[in-house]
Structure 1
Amino acid sequence: MDLKDETLKLSIVVPVYRSASILPVLVQQVQEVMVNEGLSDAFELILVNDAGPDNSWDVIRSLAETHKFIRGINLRKNAGQHNAIMAGFNHVRGRIVAVMDDDLQHPPSALIDIMRALEEGHDVCYTKYLNRQHAGWKQAGSRFNDYVATLLLGKPKGLYLSSFKAMRREIVDEIIKYDGPYTYIDGLILDVTQSITSVDIVHQARHEGESNYNLRRLLSLWLKMATSFSILPLRFATYMGFALAALSLVMVVFVVVAKFLHPEYPPGWASLIAVILFIGGVQTLCIGMVGEYLGRTYLKLNRRQQFIIGSTTWGRRAG
């Protein structure tokens, strides 16, 4: 990790994936905001190329040559948004660290409001969208994710876990101590501090193209949260086992009593098959939960890396 540079007030980490055409506009807008606030020499913009299929890395290198505040990191293979952010966290130098997306849906002007919220004494500041521009299915998924985070991680009710946020450098120093391969930044934040606030921002339309997040990636993110920071799913499986055992005992008693009282009852083939399928489905679900935990434990014990850095704009670094 780079040494802390006390002259820098702000480090901005942006995971980049298929955004070659958007990056110049993003850099221009961030620079304008920082210059207007008198911070032109007190910030850095860390662009982490997550091994996308376009020429984003070439664009980052070109921008770094003409803007001294840009530092680029190129990953050898796609690591995912949260692991790419961890790569950036390991190289930040500012006293405040912000995270924002590369699609310009997060207005750079809001960086100032977030910084002021942290200057009031909070450790972390999230953003809350006043007018979300995401598709309906994605908003529904976010609401479900919000409910699960409250249940599993102890997230304060009403706090929206936005990808646009900022935190004190001390929080980042604690977060990067996590060395597991399945990173969930918000879960790590909630593990580190309770001093969290939020500010309202206007959610802008995507500058161009479509979101890189799909249902599969959202499900993968949910699994990271559920299995990396809580054992509640395992407890759920245990409780379900107890409940099924109790239900089975009740059904056995019911069937025996019914047979004695009504010997003429025909054998219940349909109900028997339904019960077998139900119990089999629950057993498969529980085994899957256990397997998910074991698989993640196996990969961590084998020291699977969060990310592999191929090169940087300030030199080469082998991963």
Structure 2
Amino acid sequence: MKCSIVIPVYRSAEILPELLRQLNSELEKLGLRNDSELILLNDASPDKSWETLRALTFQHDNLKALNLAKNFGQHNAIMAGLRVATGDFVVLMDDDLQHSPAYIGKLIQSLEKADVCFVRFEKRQHEGWKIVGSNFNNLLASYLVSKPKDLYLSSFKAFRKHIRDAIAQYEGPYPYIDGLILRSTNRIQVIDAVHHERYSGKGNYNLARSVSLLMKMATGFSVAPLRLAIFVGVAFGVISFLLVVYVVFEKIVNPNVQPGWTSIVAIILAVSGVQMLFLGLIGEYIGRLYLNSNKKPQYVIREIAGFQKSEKEISNGI
């Protein structure tokens, strides 16, 4: 059985040597060192990550490195890695050693009875806003992509080859890995693990990236927001009808009552705001459809290192 470990890399030049050392040490313990491939993807990191990766390919014969032409984002980089992965099972993890390689064996073992296994962290070593944002995204995922409520989505996970094949078929420019997993299988397990502090430097995720992930999930893998727009429209229609009935009734009962212009303006502004919100949402759907039909690439590979000449040619995502 061959194991593929796919890791997107960004601002991790100082961490990479230790990451590779721990990965291969753990694979050696599991007896998988000679049946493994480490696929690391530099997502146009502004530091020396690519130079470090390229040098490490001479020290680790199971390392395959890809350098993307620009920053396409974590999920797009993962798609590039999945398309070159050849393992019977695939492990996805972060590059900062907050995901310990020591859990790889337990993840793989869990795949004996499941197609996918997620790692759940009881206590996460993140800033407070990121924990809140992650919990919020997980909550919305239950409604947007039919995530089981007892399942916690994390970037540390493993899955079988047929799931990798299903994910790799997706050609849209805005992939969302967990959404692709959830629409491919319901045989999912979870293991608990300790979340470590970042080995070096500061985390790369910020509020903008969290919002971007939410938009991918909402507009790329669900029509729930559009259904919500219909519900809100009907609700406002009912409220408007009741208000008209109330105004007419009050005018009949008390002809001298003066119209409440302030409340009318407030209602108009509220309705207009909701309309603009959902028009923007519909525009986002249409824009993504246009970019998809326009063949916007998921990623573009500038350079590769560590690949053998006998291996198939690496193509860019389309």
TM range (shorter): over 0.9
Q: Which residue of 2 aligns with 1:77?
A: 70
Q: Which amino acid aligns with 1:284?
A: M
CA-to-aligned-CA distance 1:103-127 (integer Å, 9 cap, x gap):
0000001001001111x22100100
8 Å Cα contact 1:129/1:203 also seen in 2: yes
TM-score normalised over the length of structure 2: 0.95
Deviation at 1:40, TM superposition (A): 1.6
CA-to-aligned-CA distance 1:220-264 (integer Å, 9 cap, x gap):
101100111110100100111111111111111111111121122
1:105 partnered with 2:87: no
8 Å Cα contact 1:12/1:45 also seen in 2: yes
Q: Which amino acid aligns with 2:23?
A: V
Q: Which residue of 2 aligns with 1:251?
A: 243
Cα distance in 2 for residues equivalent to 1:113 and 1:239: 44
8 Å Cα contact 2:84/2:314 also seen in 1: no
Q: Which residue of 2 aligns with 1:284?
A: 276
Cα distance in 1 for residues equivalent to 2:18 and 2:132: 30
* Aligned residues with identical type, % of pairs: 49
Structure 1 unaligned regions, length at least 5: 1-7
Match of 2:144 among 138, 149, 152: 152
Match of 1:123 among 104, 109, 115: 115
Q: Which amino acid aligns with 1:203?
A: H
Deviation at 1:155, TM superposition (A): 0.9
Cα distance in 2 for residues equivalent to 1:209 and 1:243: 49
Deviation at 1:309, TM superposition (A): 0.7
Task: Specify the SS of the correspondent of 2:84.
Answer: coil
Deviation at 1:273, TM superposition (A): 1.1
Q: Which residue of 1 aligns with 2:191?
A: 199
Q: Which residue of 2 aligns with 1:184?
A: 176
Cα distance in 1 for residues equivalent to 2:314 and 2:168: 18
Q: Which amino acid aligns with 1:233?
A: P
Number of residue-to-residue matches in the alignment: 311
8 Å Cα contact 1:311/1:318 also seen in 2: no
Deviation at 1:317, TM superposition (A): 5.5
User: Structure 1 pair 178/10, CA: closer, same or farther in 2 (3 Å)?
Assistant: same
Deviation at 1:267, TM superposition (A): 2.5
1:307 partnered with 2:271: no
RMSD: 1.2
Deviation at 1:130, TM superposition (A): 2.5
Match of 2:59 among 35, 55, 66: 66
8 Å Cα contact 1:153/1:190 also seen in 2: yes
Cα distance in 2 for residues equivalent to 1:306 and 1:256: 57
More deviation, 37-46/182-191: 37-46
Deviation at 1:135, TM superposition (A): 1.4
1:95 partnered with 2:88: yes
Cα distance in 1 for residues equivalent to 2:203 and 2:254: 62
Match of 1:31 among 24, 27, 49: 24
Structure 2 unaligned regions, length at least 5: none
Match of 1:222 among 214, 226, 236: 214
User: Structure 1 pair 318/225, CA: closer, same or farther in 2 (3 Å)?
Assistant: closer
Q: Which residue of 2 aligns with 1:3?
A: none
Q: Which amino acid aligns with 1:293?
A: Y
User: Structure 1 pair 157/318, CA: closer, same or farther in 2 (3 Å)?
Assistant: closer
Match of 1:13 among 6, 22, 27: 6
Cα distance in 1 for residues equivalent to 2:262 and 2:30: 72
1:56 partnered with 2:49: yes
Task: Specify the SS of the correspondent of 2:113.
Answer: coil
CA-to-aligned-CA distance 1:125-172 (integer Å, 9 cap, x gap):
100112211111111111111111111111112111110000001110
